[in-house]
Structure 1
Amino acid sequence: MADNMSGAITKFRLALIQLKVSPLKASNHSKVRTLVKEATVKGAKIVALPECFNSPYGTNYFPEYAEKIPGESTQVLSEIAKENRIYLIGGSIPEEDGGKFYNACTVFAPDGSMLLKYRKIHLFDIDVPGKIHFQESETLSPGNSLCTFDTPYCKTGIGICYDLRFPELAQIYTQQGCQLLVYPGAFNMTTGPAHWELLQRARAVDNQIYVAGVSPAQNEKNSYVAWGHSTIVNP
């Protein structure tokens, strides 16, 4: 990643981990440790994981895999960030809090401390006849706050998947001084080919910022098949 038009971003390497998610949480944790280490060896200073990196994606899975934050998965993320001395954008996990479930992204500093917790604001409710029907709101509650974090390289804002469709979110983040937006996401085989790259390019060019979308890998064995095609777009 090089300087943007304002010159406010320092050159650094960003890695997107396009993980093939398994039903075994411990296996996903292990894969992430290995892949983040590989990215760090190649010079990555900020590493981002995909949406629902620790569990299959689906309304029936959210309650089954949900954790408190801090909890098991965020402890693993903290350890990985500290071991590799990187900023780690922890994709997202299903979070349980007060009997409600959220799709939550945590970010960790190189010392292992948690910098933020972002809860997906715009829930993915879609019905394309003959293609896909999915209602996140059947299980999840929405978040209500924006989250940014500073690094020596740039200021970064976080969204999750469907949040990418809302230009106002990106505009507010840009007004707050963000030069990079990262969206862990799992667009599907219907919406992915149509809009995944298009929306990232739109958010980037509208706001003259860098935009990254990081997806789970395509896995035809899953009930919900992610499009993959993790992407970084410049201004």
Structure 2
Amino acid sequence: MASSTPSPLLKQPVKLACVQLATGPDKAANLSRAADKVREAASSGAKIVVLPECFNSPYGCAHFPQYAEPLLPSPPSPEQSPSFHALSAMARDNGVYLIGGSIPELYTAPSTAANGKEEEETKTYFNTSLIFSPSGSLLATHRKVHLFDIDIPGGITFKESDVLSPGNKLTVVDLPEYGRISVAICYDVRFPELAMIAARKGCFALVYPGAFNLTTGPLHWRLLGQARAVDNQVYVALCSPARDMSADYHAWGHSMVVDPMAKVLVEAEETETIVTADLDGDMIEAARKGIPLRDQRRFDVYPDVSQGKARYEE
């Protein structure tokens, strides 16, 4: 008789590290600093390492076109995308799964007029995360699905859509020794449907490189990390840049890892640092046995969003 015990989402314990990186206007220096910090995280025993949103550049609409790199066709040449090759080397040299934060991506496509003649090429920009294996091979690409367009009177006004285009898929990544994770970027964390679908596709962790600011950070950063964890009874990792008050955009910092019961296991302050946490599949199963949401959902009352027409890559 087949066992009714669910197979573990996380096949074996693993240490995850969030690198809260200090970045500046020099892309080469940012890449070099990231390599040093990934090496440091790996030396602590981390096998999954996360970099922050826009780790290779300043964050801001004025900066995206200047720092954007073409990623397609893949793999790009080192001249086209130094960040792609730097990330691949970081993963390979340290034998880690690397969630490469995000970088501005340039996608160029020729426009064709009605008469069939080619017109000027059109340029599209994305906020894109690259995920690499311990061998340095590209496992997945996530383009930020929900763009950061907000206007809080007396707080912050920001409109990514002035420059960026949105991605159109949820990203699930298989790490063969451990299981599945989902990667999304910053503002994506505010949309619970994305997390629910990923969790119901069998992910043991939701990973969000992000750069919340000094208005939304103290209000919602921790709250959203805990909400996505308690909603789905999985681990959640949030990885921010370090705060730089001399930059155009002031990141909140406070990178953290939250467990399946929504307990914050580790949290940074605002300066450059590395935070690590040990993830254990038994913790996921204990949470789901103690509060058995998976057996109590009422899909006769409301739909299961994971059974819809969601676009996702795995």
TM-score relative to the length of structure 1:
0.96
Is 2:169 aligned against 1:167? no
SS, match of residue 194 in structure 2: helix
Between structure 1 and structure 2, the one with the greater Rg is: 2
Query: What is residue 72 of structure 1 aligned with on the other side?
Result: 82
One-letter amino acid matched to 2:136: G
RMSD: 1.1
Q: Distance in 2 between matches of 1:82 and 1:159?
A: 23
Among 12, 25, 36, the residue aligned to 1:34: 36
SS, match of residue 59 in structure 2: coil
Alignment deviations for residues 129-177 of structure 1 (CA, whole Å, 9 cap, x no partner): 1211100000000000111111212310011000000000000001111
Q: Is the 8 A contact 2:241 2:251 kept in 1?
A: yes
The number of equivalent residue pairs is 231
One-letter amino acid matched to 2:85: Q
The answer for unaligned runs of 5 or more in structure 1 is none
The answer for unaligned runs of 5 or more in structure 2 is 1-5, 109-122, 261-314
One-letter amino acid matched to 2:241: P
Query: What is residue 119 of structure 1 aligned with on the other side?
Result: 143
Among 154, 159, 168, the residue aligned to 1:130: 154
SS, match of residue 196 in structure 2: helix
Q: Is the 8 A contact 1:121 1:145 kept in 2?
A: yes
What displacement does 1:6 show? 7.0
What displacement does 1:45 show? 0.2
Is 2:170 aligned against 1:146? yes
Is 2:230 aligned against 1:205? yes
Whose strand proportion is higher, 1 or 2?
A: 2
Report 1:156-195 matches (<5 A): 156-195=181-220
Is 2:237 aligned against 1:220? no
Query: What is residue 54 of structure 1 aligned with on the other side?
Result: 56
Q: Is the 8 A contact 1:154 1:180 kept in 2?
A: no
Percentage of matched positions with identical amino acids: 55
What displacement does 1:186 show? 0.1
Q: Is the 8 A contact 1:131 1:190 kept in 2?
A: yes
